[in-house]
Homo-oligomer: A and B are copies of this chain.
Amino acid sequence: MAKKSAQNRNALSGTKVSIFDVAREAGVALSTVSNALSGKDNVRESTRLRVQAAADRLGYRVSVVARSLRMQRTFTLGVLLADVANPSSPDFLRGIEDIADQEQCSLLVCNTDGQLDKQLAQMRVLLDRQVDGLVMLSQHCQQEEVRELLAGDTPYVLLQRRSTEHEDTYVGANNEEGIDAAVRHLVAFGHQRIGLIRGPADSSTADERYQAYLHALQRYQLAPAPDYVVQGDYHVRGGYQAAKRFFAMSPRPSAILAANDMSAIGVMNAAHEAGLKIPDDFSLIGLDDIEMASFSPINLTTIALQRREMGAAATTMLMKMIRQKSKPSPKKKIFPMKLIVRGSTGPVKTP
């Protein structure tokens, strides 16, 4: 039967060369070609060479699609992220790619713009495509609909956002440590009034950072002022607006801790507009250490995240889950954060 169909194909002088053609060319059986080409050890070396030669001669290329159908494994990973255009995304992505490449996996990349409905739609697409695993970078992960999709047998890793209600395999960073270093740095400069620009309300990471900020204040015996915590959105705009609110306060904070570097940039924009100098008029600390932060005109003190390493670690964990079919107990990996001191922080001004 298979033979007949293959012969037909061949008779039609198919433009595409399949494994059958190679078998004929090499004078061996179909399965031998498969075994030889996929490096199985149950084929004599001389045969393998002959097959290889025939394949090359014919310009044979395996059909990943057919293989996927047969093996029920697509060698494809789905990556969900809010927005590739966010400067911190690509580094995570490169880390993911580092491992994926090693594992012969390709990446299906989807932007969700942080919107739940888009995320759900993309997740469904990815699942329909039978990706071997899912990397969820800063994605929603509490909602029931998300959980339903995650409940299938496709392995996944959460990166930079965790669920409080579920136990997942997770890769994150030690926000407590990072924020502590930042606050300590500011305190050493004499700052007492430290404002925080929070990340979005629905982000676990933003929440952790907020908690870490509160802990740090306590640790250094600074009185927390609710006014000094302003909601941002991880984007320039949110940072800008938050800064304007800070500037209108009196006394205003002598230092601002931004949820991430983009928010800090927003603060810089606002400061420029208001004619305030950094760090003369106030100090500013970001978080992420995106490349931009190191450029001279920006020169932002910030808390660095090992994004590429985190992406790689998450993917390594994911690949492990993919290989051992049985669901193992969820693992966690928390990366250190490191304060990078640049020019946006300085001693508190004592007028």
Contacts and interface: CB of A to CB of B under 8 A. Distances in A.
Interface of A: 1, 15, 61-66, 68-69, 74, 76, 83-85, 87, 89-91, 93-94, 97, 106-111, 124-130, 153, 236, 265, 268-269, 271-273, 291-292, 295-299
A272 B294 CA distance: 13
Contact of A90 (B1, B15, B84, B268): B84
A298 B296 CA distance: 9
A87 B128 CA distance: 31
Contact of A106 (B62, B85, B129, B292): B129
B295 A265 contact: yes
A18 to B, nearest CB: 12
B268 A64 contact: no
Nearest to A74: B65
A266 to B, nearest CB: 9
Contacts of A111: 94, 97
A294 to B, nearest CB: 9
Contacts of A94: 84-85, 111
Nearest to A273: B296
A48 B86 CA distance: 43
Contacts of A61: 124, 127-128
Nearest to A308: B85
A84 B93 contact: yes
Nearest to A266: B295
A296 B106 CA distance: 39
A162 B75 CA distance: 32
Contacts of A298: 295, 297-298
A90 B85 contact: yes
Given A66-B69, A107-B109, 13 more contacts: A1-B1, A15-B153, A76-B108, A84-B84, A84-B93, A89-B90, A97-B111, A106-B108, A106-B110, A236-B291, A236-B295, A268-B296, A272-B297
A72 to B, nearest CB: 9
A9 to B, nearest CB: 13
Contacts of A296: 268-269, 271-273
Contact of A128 (B63, B83, B124, B272): B63
A181 to B, nearest CB: 24
27 contacts: A1-B1, A61-B127, A62-B128, A63-B69, A63-B128, A64-B129, A65-B69, A65-B129, A66-B69, A69-B69, A84-B89, A84-B94, A85-B93, A85-B94, A87-B87, A107-B108, A107-B109, A109-B109, A265-B297, A268-B295, A268-B296, A271-B296, A272-B296, A273-B296, A292-B292, A297-B298, A297-B299
